[in-house]
Chains A and B, each alone.
Chain A
Amino acid sequence: MRDMLSQLLVEAAAADDRFIVLSGDHGYALFDGLRAGYGSQFVNVGVAEQNMIGVAAGLAKVGFRPCVYGLAAFVPIRVLEQIKLDLCHAKAPVILLGDGAGLVYSTLGVSHQCGEDVACLRPLPAIAIYSPCDKFELQACWAEARRADHPSYIRIGKADRPTVHDAAIADTEPQWTNRRDAHNHERLIVAAGSMTSISTAIARTHGVPCLSVPRIKPLPPSLMAAVQSHRQTIVVEEHARAGGLFSALAEELASAESLSGRPHLAHLGLSGQFTSTAGSHEHALSEHGLDDAAVNRSLTAWITARPGQMS
C-alpha cells in the first residue's frame, strides 16, 4: 500500500503542477520518488501541524490542490479545529493523509496511536472519509478524493497486510471480498481498513459474506441495504466503537424503520451542516429544525404517530 501511495503522489505531481504535498517533518521514504522527480511540489513545513493546515487552506484558495500528510495522531487529531474551519467550512479541496492510523505505532505509545480519527471527523460537514484496506482501494479512494471539490481524509492503517482484492476496483462503493463462495446469508461481516484481510480470510473459512467499506463518509446506501438484507451483522475495524464505522451504521439503522414500523431510537438534533445565516439563537436553531415550534411539531408528530406512520 505504501508503494502505491508513493506512486500516486508522483503521478499526481506529474499530471498537475497545482498538486503540492505538505508534510510536518515526517514521512521519510514515502516521499523519495516525489522529492526526486518533483522536488518543488513537496514542502516540509516543519513540526507545525496547525500552521500546515492553514497553509494548505490558503494554497487551495489560490488554486492549488494540496495534499497534507501526517500521522493520524496529528492529522486530523491535533488540527481538528483547523480542519473544521479552514478546510470544511471553506470546502477546500485538500486531501488529508492520516498515516499509521489505529495501533500501528504500538511501541511508540499512546501519543502515536489513534483510534478516534474517524469519530472526530464524521460530524464535520463537507469532508469525505476513506479507510482503504489495500492498494486497490487506496487507488480508488485517491482518485475520488482528487476529483472532489471538498476536503477528504484518507485513513492509512497498517500498510503491510495482505492485498484483499485481485485487481483494480471501479469506485469506493462497498466491495464484496467473499461472496461467490459464501453460502451463509444469515450473517454478514462488514470490515474496514486493516481488519479487512483477516476478516475476509475468516469469512472464507466459514462461508460467510464479507463486505469491505473503503468509504465511510458519506456512508454508501448499498451498505445499509446489505446490512438490512442479513439477519445479523458484525463490524470489524481498528477504531473505537464510538464514532467509527460501527457507529455510522448503528446511527443509520436506528433511523431506519424497525419491524414495528417505527425506529426504536430516533434523533432530533443538529443537521450536520454549518449554520448559514446570522440571527438569534432561536433563529440558528430553526435552520436545524430545533426551534421551539419545530421541536413541538416534530415531537408531537412522533408522540401521536401510529406504528408505520413515521420514520
Chain B
Amino acid sequence: MTPQCHRPGAVFDPKDLRRHILRMAFHGQSVHVACAFSLVEICSVLYSQFLRFDPMNAVSPDRDFLILSKGHGVMALYACFREIGWLTDSDLDAYFRNGTHLRGLCEADVPGCEVTSGSLGHGLPIATGIAFGLRRLGIDRRVYCIVGDGEMNEGPMWESLLFAAHQKLANLTVIVDANRYQAMGRTEEVLGLEPLPAKFEAFGFATKECDGHDPKALARCLSDLLANGSRPGALVARTTKGHGVSFMEDDNRWHYTRLTEHDYSRALKELS
C-alpha cells in the first residue's frame, strides 16, 4: 500500500527530521529530544510508504490514522508535519512561545496529532477503538499506533491488547519503540518487559521484530504484518534512545536535558 497523495519533495529523510526536532527543542528549550529521536525512522517509513494522507488537509476524511501513544515523542510528528507542509519553519522556531499551539506532548487539537496522549497509556486504547469502529463501519482505513516500551508498564495497554486480539482487529498495527529506556532508568531494571515479542504473540498478535532504525527492515516487517490476514499486528522495533547524534545515543539524560547553544551546534554538525 503506498500513500495516495504525497507532497512532491517530501522525502522524510531521517536527518532532516532530526534537524527539525533539534530546531524546535533548542528554540523552545524543551526536553524529550532523545524520546523523539528514537522513533524518527519509524515515522519516516510510515509517512513515506504506508500512511495515506492528504498534504493539503491533515484531517481529510479518508486518511489512515497514526496514533502516537508515547505522546512525549511528539517532536518527531511535528518534524514530519513540517515535511508535509502542515507546519512551517516559523512554527518550529516559535515552539513554546506564549500563545502558540504546539505543546510538548501530543494534543488532539493540533491537526495531524489525532489524540491527546501526554499521559501514557491512553493512545493505544483510543487507537483500538478507532480500529474497532472502522471495522464495524466496513471502512478500509488503517490504524498505526506507536507506543513506548516504558509505556507498556501501564495496565490499559494490556487491556487494549486483549481487546484488539479478541476482536481480531487486523486493521491495527502496534509499533513498539523499544529503546530499552524509560524516564528514570533501563526498562529491564524498572519493570522487566521481555520477552516482548513472545508476549504479543501470546496475546494473539501477528508479531515481528527488527532494527527500528533500518528503514528497509521496518518497511518489510510492516508489509508482512499488513499481509497477515485476521490478527492485529505488532512490530517490536529495537531502537536506541537519542539515535542519530552520537553524544545523545543511549544516554537517558537526553530524556530531560535542554539543549545549550553549544550542544545544538554540535548536534547539527553531525546531521549535516
Binding site for A on B (CB under 8 A): 28, 30, 71, 96, 103-105, 107, 116-121, 150-151, 153-155, 182-185, 190-191, 256
Contact = CB atoms under 8 A, between A and B. Distances in A.
Q: Chain A binding site: helix, strand, loop or mixed by DSSP?
A: loop
A15 interface: no
20 contacts: A23-B184, A25-B150, A25-B153, A25-B183, A25-B184, A25-B190, A26-B183, A27-B184, A44-B184, A44-B185, A46-B191, A47-B151, A47-B154, A48-B153, A48-B191, A50-B155, A107-B103, A109-B105, A109-B116, A111-B119
Nearest to B152: A47
Contacts of A78: 119
A109 B107 CA distance: 7
Nearest to A52: B153
A74 interface: yes
A109 B119 CA distance: 10
Contacts of B185: 44
Contact of A46 (B104, B117, B153): B153
Interface string A81-117: 0000000000000000000000000011111100000
The 7 closest A-B pairs by CB, nearest first: A111-B118, A109-B103, A46-B191, A46-B153, A47-B153, A108-B104, A111-B119
B184 A48 contact: no
Contacts of B121: 47
A56 interface: no
A107 B102 CA distance: 9
Contacts of B117: 111
B167 to A, nearest CB: 23
A107 B184 contact: no
Interface residues of A, number: 21
Given A25-B150, A46-B182, A50-B155, 16 more contacts: A23-B184, A25-B182, A26-B184, A44-B190, A47-B150, A47-B151, A47-B154, A48-B153, A48-B154, A48-B155, A78-B119, A107-B104, A109-B107, A109-B116, A110-B118, A111-B116
B184 A28 contact: yes
Nearest to B110: A109
A44 B151 CA distance: 14
Given A25-B183, A46-B150, A47-B154, A109 B104 contact: yes
Tell which of B107, B120, B184, B256 has the most Cβ of chain A within 10 Å.
B184
Interface in A6-57: 23, 25-28, 44-48, 50-51
Contacts of A44: 184-185, 190
A46 B182 CA distance: 9
A59 to B, nearest CB: 17
A46 B190 contact: yes
Contacts of B154: 47-48
Nearest to A48: B153
